[in-house]
Structure 1
Amino acid sequence: MADYRLPDVGEGLTEAEIHAWHVQAGDTVAVNQVLLEIETAKSVVELPSPFAGTVEALLVEVGQTVTVGTPLVRVGDGSAAEQGSGQAAEERSGERRAASPGGGDETGPATLVGYGPRETVSRRRRRSGAHANALAPARPAPAPVAAPARALAAPPVRLRARELGVDLNQVSSSRPDGVVTMADLTAYAGGASAAATAPAAAPAMPELRDREYREPVKGVRKMMAAAMVESAYSAPHVTLTVEIDTTHAVDLVRELRTDPRYEGTRLTALTLMARACILALREFPELNARWDGEAVTFRRYVNLGIAAATPRGLIVPNIKDAGDLSGPELARAVEELTATARAGKSQPADQAGGTFTITNIGVLKVDSGTPIINPGESAILAVGAIRRKPWVITTKDGSEAIAIRDVVTFSLSVDHRFIDGEKASQFLAMIAAFSEDPAGLGL
């Protein structure tokens, strides 16, 4: 019998929230089988079992926040002896520890190579009351019941659900990622209303609701808030915007979608913007650098971050060494990164080490904004919605005319401590030039 404790998932994280259980007491599990999901300050992480055996008890509940080293689940080897009384099991455990040269349990369940309790780990001292009753007959303790996983939904949907008195866990999602939409909620509420039209003995009094409610800030949202405050108050931001004609870039995307090299890839204009940024950063390395107060560190690589809005908050995973990728490789990397982020499966390592970030606010139907620089970086580009607009163009004979074009707004925020307006403007102008004439992108 052994307890699986919350491991250190890296990136300096010391605690996590129990997001969902994949097993329950009595289940038989194999090594590497996923036991549960935890939500850290950066992502949702699946934890595989280092043991093979039978789940005896879930020691924490869904929604509970625990620190590294906290026992999560107890796994036994499934033998009849393990199923005896707690007192007998404790006596056998003591005999095994005494017989073992290292004082450990040599007959526990099978484990992954390299996994096991450290000799230096100290055990918590029992409370006096429990110690006084140590000789009393052991009574089986009921296993904690895991609460249902929290439904995935955007804040407006949660607000509307509270107004309607609907439990989102009861609403089926129409999306492949399981996120409950406003349409799903409306359909469910309509069905519930129809079912509730049966005549009642007496009209129910309207339920009194609080005028305010509190929702704890934790996990990804808490980390995001801390990072944005740190960046906003440590780096003086300056934001520049430019509106450009991106018709040729949109046409190139349509053309490349029929290119065999991009077969099976959902190519979007974001890939072109990413490529333009990578090329521009080679000319203006200041925007790919890091300021530490004493010196500026210039990077010869680009870890391109793509900001992604998820039901749990904003995260910024990045494509490692994006400058080394070909056009098709970059397109696939962008597609995989955004899909993984929206599914809530980005790992902490995916979000570490970014050097420059793009935030695609166009998917939210927003034209421009003042994005906050990701900590550890010096610039961030916001790409607005591509809209059809009247635009002044120059004809072949040199005259001007009005035409309907695809227009986009770029908003670039930079760290003004070491990036001046001229450098930022030149960088923005180069990105605009690539977007207006994308032939030089090498895609």
Structure 2
Amino acid sequence: MPEYKQFPLADTAEGLTEAEILDWKVKPGDEVTVNQIVVEIETAKAAVELPIPWAGVVTELLVEPGQTVEVGTPILTVDVDPHGTASGSAPAATAAGEANGDEEEMKPLVGYGSKASSAKRRPRKKAGGAPSTPAAPPVAAVATPVQAVEVVKPRQPADDKVADTTPAAYVPLAKPPVRKLAKELGVDLRTVTGSADGGVITREDVYRAAEGATNGAAVSSGPAAATAAQAGSYDPATRERRVPIRGVRKATAQAMVNSAYTAPHVTEFLTVDVTPMMELRDKLRRTPEFADVKLTPLAFAAKAVCLAATRTPDVNAVWDDAAGEIVYKDYVHLGIAAATPRGLVVPKVRDADALSLAELAAAIGELTATARDGKTTPEAMLNGTFTITNVGVFGVDTGTPIINPGESAILALGAIRDMPWVVDGELAVRKVMQLSLSFDHRVVDGQQGSQFLADVGALLADPAMAITY
């Protein structure tokens, strides 16, 4: 008989308590294989795709896209024995994994949890030279972040062919843009009757449904209404939209508030002539090493930060209030602040201080592209030691950045502009950039912060200075 299991929302990163269902990759009736991606969720840090640990047939989607659920909540039901191949009449498998009296190994989710080691220790030899035999076979460690929740449903008679039309099983017919619009306007597509051929739901159907939900208020179907309803619930009567504070935005806001009211911030500014850096950039672009690399001022700044931190390690340390210690890091996990549709995220370039300029440029390019696509993993945003935010890409000259929690300093890069500058006593037009450094005054004194900022500026103004570090 069919054997049903419910797939609960897994903890994809340490401390995750809830997540929003963004998009289902399967629908009822689909066959799935072990470790197949079935759903995309948004945690407080990033969008994450979850694989399923069993093979079978999807029977029910228990949560709608846009709904936020707690870790451990069942979100999907799968028939793991759709063809009735299970032998015997033993009771179905329990949540702990027992089936037919034997232990059933739960396949680990790809990318999450520790892996069971495949390496075997050589048997130790006894004094006589014969290998010792363990008293009992070792128990294989099964790594899995989820627990199966067993659901046993009565088998329907063979002649019962009535289709399941319950709301949870019904999947409305609508194209992805229409589904997105419905989510933005707070319209449940299961309550909408499609007007297109085959019952397909159109944008006009969604607008009419939204109009009915607001007691007959007119809903414009023009671009202004669509733009205003990018997220949350849109009220056409007041021309306002309300967006729930959750996910990346909620986590970022809380982190910034905690940092601003915990670490005593000091911000210093420096204006730098970066003409030599830009000339070097043009020269390096013509070399084979940088032929396939997007070399940006951000990459030069990243290299300068790593070098300058060797002379002022305080900026790469952190205040541990609980332990009453300052922790100095002998590595630089460099955070790069990236603006994404879901909000600000700060993925890290691991061991950035060990990378060449070309390697740093490539790593930053890959990291920012992944962030903008919403594919940054939660692990990629943990354990940073220093952050760079490039406000210059928005045409902004400078700012007072807030330090990321767990760090002691952050550098903001302003826009590079052609400006009048005095060179060797004469006025010239040069490429000029403003730098701003915020630091935690508990860890970094004014002298140390000033020295670090001056070092970064000197390296950007004259990249040849790098050979002296």
Superposition TM-score, scaled by structure 2 size: 0.72
1:51 is paired with a residue of what secondary structure?
coil
Give the 3 Å change call, closer, same or farther, for CA 99–356 of structure 1 in structure 2.
closer
CA distance in 1, matches of 2:364, 2:252: 22
Q: C-alpha deviations, 1:100-125, integer Å up to 9, x for none?
A: 9x883459999625467988x8889x
Please say if 1:353 is aligned against 2:383.
yes
Which residue matches 1:258? 286
Letter in 2 for 1:339: A
Give the 3 Å change call, closer, same or farther, for CA 307–78 of structure 1 in structure 2.
same
Residues 394-409 of structure 1 correspond to what in structure 2 (within 5 A)? 394=424, 400-409=425-434
Q: C-alpha deviations, 1:134-169, integer Å up to 9, x for none?
A: xxx99954515489868999xxxx99xxxxxx979x
Which residue matches 2:333? 303
1:318 to 313, 337, 348: 348
Q: State the 1:212 CA deviation.
A: 4.2
Which residue matches 2:189? none
Please say if 1:431 is aligned against 2:456.
yes
Q: State the 1:440 CA deviation.
A: 3.2
CA distance in 2, matches of 1:372, 1:221: 15
Give the 3 Å change call, closer, same or farther, for CA 48–401 of structure 1 in structure 2.
same
Please say if 1:104 is aligned against 2:98.
yes
Please say if 1:2 is aligned against 2:27.
no
Q: C-alpha deviations, 1:165-189, integer Å up to 9, x for none?
A: x979x9xxxxxxxxxxxxxxxxx84
Residues 156-235 of structure 1 correspond to what in structure 2 (within 5 A)? 189=223, 209-210=237-238, 212-235=240-263
Q: C-alpha deviations, 1:7-51, integer Å up to 9, x for none?
A: 111231111000111111111122222111000000000111212
2:237 is paired with a residue of what secondary structure?
coil
Which residue matches 2:50? 47
Superposition TM-score, scaled by structure 1 size: 0.75
1:413 is paired with a residue of what secondary structure?
strand
Residues 36-75 of structure 1 correspond to what in structure 2 (within 5 A)? 36-75=39-78
Residues 404-423 of structure 1 correspond to what in structure 2 (within 5 A)? 404-423=429-448
Please say if 1:272 is aligned against 2:300.
yes
Letter in 2 for 1:19: L
Give the 3 Å change call, closer, same or farther, for CA 408–264 of structure 1 in structure 2.
same
Aligned length: 374
Letter in 1 for 2:403: I
Give the 3 Å change call, closer, same or farther, for CA 32–167 of structure 1 in structure 2.
same
Please say if 1:282 is aligned against 2:322.
no
Give the 3 Å change call, closer, same or farther, for CA 34–230 of structure 1 in structure 2.
same
Q: C-alpha deviations, 1:276-312, integer Å up to 9, x for none?
A: 0000001001100000231211111110000111111
Letter in 2 for 1:361: V
Which residue matches 1:387? 417
Q: Is the 8 A contact 1:62 1:149 kept in 2?
A: no
Which residue matches 1:25? 28
- Bigger shift: residues 36-45 or 316-325: 316-325
CA distance in 2, matches of 1:98, 1:407: 71
CA distance in 1, matches of 2:420, 2:370: 37
Give the 3 Å change call, closer, same or farther, for CA 343–63 of structure 1 in structure 2.
same
CA distance in 1, matches of 2:84, 2:170: 23
Letter in 2 for 1:45: V
Q: State the 1:96 CA deviation.
A: 3.1
Which residue matches 1:335? 365
CA distance in 1, matches of 2:306, 2:76: 46
Percent of counterpart pairs with the same letter? 48
Q: Is the 8 A contact 2:98 2:104 kept in 1?
A: no
Give the 3 Å change call, closer, same or farther, for CA 115–52 of structure 1 in structure 2.
farther
Give the 3 Å change call, closer, same or farther, for CA 61–259 of structure 1 in structure 2.
same
1:7 is paired with a residue of what secondary structure?
coil
Q: Is the 8 A contact 1:77 1:109 kept in 2?
A: no
Please say if 1:143 is aligned against 2:169.
yes
CA distance in 2, matches of 1:355, 1:278: 11
Q: State the 1:252 CA deviation.
A: 1.1
CA distance in 2, matches of 1:314, 1:79: 44
Q: Is the 8 A contact 1:11 1:349 kept in 2?
A: no
Q: State the 1:416 CA deviation.
A: 1.1
Q: Which runs of 5+ in 1 are unaligned?
A: 83-91, 125-136, 160-165, 171-187, 193-206, 395-399
Q: C-alpha deviations, 1:329-366, integer Å up to 9, x for none?
A: 11111111111111111111100000000001111111
CA distance in 1, matches of 2:455, 2:254: 33
CA distance in 2, matches of 1:44, 1:266: 26
Letter in 2 for 1:226: Q
Q: C-alpha deviations, 1:409-442, integer Å up to 9, x for none?
A: 0000000123121111111111110001012336
Q: State the 1:97 CA deviation.
A: 2.5
CA distance in 2, matches of 1:300, 1:384: 28
CA distance in 2, matches of 1:151, 1:333: 36
Give the 3 Å change call, closer, same or farther, for CA 432–103 of structure 1 in structure 2.
closer
- Bigger shift: residues 44-53 or 280-289: 44-53
Q: Is the 8 A contact 1:275 1:441 kept in 2?
A: no
Please say if 1:14 is aligned against 2:4.
no
Which residue matches 1:183? none
- Bigger shift: residues 275-284 or 287-296: 287-296
Q: State the 1:77 CA deviation.
A: 3.5
Q: State the 1:214 CA deviation.
A: 2.1
Q: Is the 8 A contact 2:386 2:409 kept in 1?
A: yes
Q: C-alpha deviations, 1:360-396, integer Å up to 9, x for none?
A: 11111111000000000000000001111111111xx
CA distance in 1, matches of 2:253, 2:394: 20
